[in-house]
A and B are shown apart, each in its own frame.
Chain A
Amino acid sequence: MTATKTRTGADAASAPTELTMAGALNAALRDAMAEDDRVVVYGEDVGPLGGVFRVTDGLQERFGDERIWDSPLAESGIVGTAIGMAIYGMRPVVEMQFDAFSYPAFEQIVSHVAKMRNRTKGRVSLPLVVRIPCAGAIGGVEHHSDSSESYWASTPGLTVVMPSNPADAYSMLREAIESDDPVIFMEPKSRYWAKAPLALPVTTAPMDRALVVREGSDVTLIGYGPTVRTALEAADAAAEEGLSIEVVDLRSLSPFDDETVSASVRKTSRAAVIHEAAQFGGFGAEVAARVTERNFYHLAAPVLRITGFDIPYPSPKLEEYHLPTADRVLAALETWEWELA
């Protein structure tokens, strides 16, 4: 389905080194910019500062301010101008700084980024990437910990992905930049500092595929971005009590990999989806509906949603009560009537 092209890295074929997710994203931008001079990067504070999360650290020094620059502080302007640049043939990668700050760009993304290709009968593609640091658990004050993924995922025309680890972060960002479809690239802030040994350039599974990241036989836990780690922690704890949990990392919210998810659910017959975003109208509802529609007769129990509460994201001192933890996941699994299984 996906032709995996050989990617070159500016510092290619390096020996494995410990890289954070922020470092892997930085390397992906660096290598994409080195390989293709149509790739330009801009946003707020991405220049000399290197981004508030340092994802663009050192890139302006290396590529100059005509390839990566600080834009005025206006998100609609950032995305709106990226559309014009993409029409001209560039491949802009723009940063939204925090996901609650992407909302001024909502109109440009929903009305134009998502629809331009269709509106022009395929004549004008918009090969651009909107990077959005997302989700919470970093002690951020109000507006710094939102989970906006369902807004984007419910918009036809957008591709919405969220890596959960450094290797995917590198590979998926490279693929997003190479994509002729516009990509909303969501980066879970709490995972920016997660480390993994990486030999670059690394190519993981195509970004539209979900991956089984831990095999199990009793339950399928479906997570994405920050909640993949939560699911893995829950699986470790459950294993001690003899419960075998399979963990699926969705990676892509749109398109949705029904095949991988359904295959896992048919094996385990129980599924729960975990996300930080509020439950009502959240992405978990789509996951639960798709899993149920496709696998109803294979299910031994209702699909659960283990999510943040239906409240505005709490302040730093209270966010721990809001976030779905491994304990909360395990408690939720206990609500199933296991004897009927």
Chain B
Amino acid sequence: MSLNVEHHAARRALPSEKPLRLLDNAGHAVTGAATGGFSLPDTETLLDLYRKMVVARRFDVQVTALTKQGRLATYPSAYGQEACEIGAVSAISADDWLFPTYRESVALLTRGIDPGDILKSFRGDWHSGYDQRSHRTSTQTTPLATQALHAVGLAHAARLRHDPIVALTFLGDGATSEGDAHEAFNFAAVWQTPTVFIVQNNQFAISVPLARQTHAATLADKAVGYGMPGFHVDGNDVAAMYAVTRAAVDRARAGGGPTLIEGLTYRIEAHTNSDDPTRYRPARDVEHWKRRDPIERLEKYLVSEGALTEATRSEITDAAEALAAHTRDVITTESELDPLELFDHVYARPRRALLEQRARLEAELAEAARNPR
């Protein structure tokens, strides 16, 4: 057997190098092998995903604008990645758990978390704003891929408890180079935990392109080595992201184990407001990907199906504007930070050393209040 033939045999076991897709860029339903056997979600589901994406886009644009006005310390935009995040997160239920990174603001918004709470730490507050337990959403994690292990552990605990809970986690293309990504994939597969890994491949880790992260044909290929299914999906096709994630979630819930889903998308904005993407990528690349906009794609399909009426469109626009106004309100309202709170949640059991340090700071604050500079 020649090396070439062996290579082809191996490739057959790997996910398709052509992204799995249910709607093409022109908004036409895809048929045949490219669908990977997945069916287009029903129109009601697609309309719901469309609504979420439009609202999320408006939110993201609003927050980027507020960041440029200096209202936030930093903001990692999800512009252009709405299909990837919202398609995936819409496939889990309210009882399931989400383990996001800092990039998943629009996934958190879709999860029903208030903009002010999503943006709490980006505004410079010291803690995560929302209630992790009631939203079943862990903190927006910064150390790359570390949260994937938390998702595996939580899923394993749920499985040991016989609770039908799935944990879904996002990680970026750069994060797949981290050791914790490997450990998370491996632990999940060995323990057969109900975990779904969404590798959001936006093709850049700040400035470093995907080719510097991996020599594999796709990031979904990595799944094969762990003995779990991997899917290379068009991350700008919300229908495909939803359908594939939904299947993985159902499979995990039924005891079928973990799945790795790579959503191929593109980071339209800078990494954060402090990044300068003109130093590492040509504007024409960004323009190329702007023409593959996930919202326009679904809109074309819905319009062609007669599913998106003017009334619905204007109702969605109103909802998006209302959310943007709410976001402006909460962000432009100065939040009162109490420095003394810094001591209050470090330990469950109070420590004398911290109480003494807290008292010292309290005295300094009282002194400053008596003698303002």
Provide the residues of chain B in CB contact with A180, threshold 8 Å.
348-349
- With A81-B152, A118-B127 already in contact, the answer to whether A123 and B349 are too (CB < 8 A) is no
The proximity string for A residues 77-94 relative to B, scoring 1 for CB distances below 8 Å and 0 otherwise, is: 101111111111110100
| Count class of interface residues, chain A | 35 or more
Q: When the two chains form their complex, are residues A80 and B150 in contact, meaning their CB atoms are under 8 A apart?
A: yes
Interface status of A112 (Cβ within 8 A of chain B): yes
Interface status of A157 (Cβ within 8 A of chain B): yes
Please report which residues of chain A, range 20-68, place their CB below 8 angstroms from some CB of chain B when the two chains form the complex.
40, 66
Q: When the two chains form their complex, are residues B157 and A90 in contact, meaning their CB atoms are under 8 A apart?
A: yes
CB distance from B126 to the nearest CB of A (A): 8
Interface status of A256 (Cβ within 8 A of chain B): yes
Provide the residues of chain B in CB contact with A86, threshold 8 Å.
153
Cα distance, A259 to B159, chains bound together (Å): 46
Interface status of B154 (Cβ within 8 A of chain A): yes
Interface status of A190 (Cβ within 8 A of chain B): no
- With A108-B146, A112-B150, A121-B128 already in contact, the answer to whether A77 and B346 are too (CB < 8 A) is no
Q: When the two chains form their complex, are residues A77 and B127 in contact, meaning their CB atoms are under 8 A apart?
A: no
Q: When the two chains form their complex, are residues B157 and A85 in contact, meaning their CB atoms are under 8 A apart?
A: yes
Q: When the two chains form their complex, are residues A83 and B133 in contact, meaning their CB atoms are under 8 A apart?
A: no
**Which of B148, B153, B157, B345 has a CB less than 8 Å from the CB of A117?**
B345
Q: When the two chains form their complex, are residues B345 and A77 in contact, meaning their CB atoms are under 8 A apart?
A: no
Q: When the two chains form their complex, are residues A74 and B348 in contact, meaning their CB atoms are under 8 A apart?
A: no
- With A71-B187, A255-B353 already in contact, the answer to whether A80 and B348 are too (CB < 8 A) is no
Q: When the two chains form their complex, are residues B152 and A84 in contact, meaning their CB atoms are under 8 A apart?
A: yes
Interface status of B232 (Cβ within 8 A of chain A): no
**Which of A108, A112, A123, A159 has a CB less than 8 Å from the CB of B131?**
A123
Interface status of B112 (Cβ within 8 A of chain A): no
From B143, which residue of chain A is reached at the shortest CB distance? A111
Q: When the two chains form their complex, are residues B183 and A80 in contact, meaning their CB atoms are under 8 A apart?
A: yes
Provide the residues of chain A in CB contact with B190, threshold 8 Å.
72
Interface status of B167 (Cβ within 8 A of chain A): yes
Q: When the two chains form their complex, are residues A104 and B179 in contact, meaning their CB atoms are under 8 A apart?
A: yes
Q: When the two chains form their complex, are residues A84 and B183 in contact, meaning their CB atoms are under 8 A apart?
A: no
- With A66-B160, A111-B143, A255-B352 already in contact, the answer to whether A88 and B183 are too (CB < 8 A) is no
Provide the residues of chain A in CB contact with B184, threshold 8 Å.
77, 80
Interface status of B180 (Cβ within 8 A of chain A): yes
Cα distance, A119 to B187, chains bound together (Å): 26
CB distance from A163 to the nearest CB of B (A): 19
CB distance from A43 to the nearest CB of B (A): 13
- With A108-B146, A122-B344, A156-B346 already in contact, the answer to whether A87 and B180 are too (CB < 8 A) is no
Q: When the two chains form their complex, are residues B154 and A107 in contact, meaning their CB atoms are under 8 A apart?
A: no
CB distance from A62 to the nearest CB of B (A): 17
The proximity string for B residues 153-172 relative to A, scoring 1 for CB distances below 8 Å and 0 otherwise, is: 11111101100000100000
Q: When the two chains form their complex, are residues A120 and B132 in contact, meaning their CB atoms are under 8 A apart?
A: yes
Interface status of A217 (Cβ within 8 A of chain B): no
Q: When the two chains form their complex, are residues B153 and A85 in contact, meaning their CB atoms are under 8 A apart?
A: yes
Interface status of A260 (Cβ within 8 A of chain B): no
From A180, which residue of chain B is reached at the shortest CB distance? B348
Provide the residues of chain B in CB contact with A123, threshold 8 Å.
131-133
**Which of A108, A120, A125 has a CB less than 8 Å from the CB of B128?**
A120
From A89, which residue of chain B is reached at the shortest CB distance? B157
Interfacial residues, chain A to chain B (CB-CB below 8 A): 40, 66, 71-72, 74, 76-77, 79-90, 92, 104, 107-108, 111-112, 116-125, 156-157, 159, 179-181, 255-256, 258
List of 5 A-B pairs having minimum Cβ-Cβ separation, nearest first: A84-B153, A80-B149, A81-B153, A77-B183, A84-B154
* Contacts A72-B187, A84-B157, A156-B346 known; 18 new A-B pairs at CB < 8 A: A71-B187, A72-B190, A74-B183, A84-B155, A85-B154, A87-B138, A87-B154, A117-B348, A120-B345, A121-B127, A121-B341, A121-B345, A122-B345, A123-B132, A125-B348, A181-B349, A256-B353, A258-B352
CB<8 Å pairs between A and B, sample of 5: A79-B149, A80-B153, A87-B138, A118-B126, A179-B348
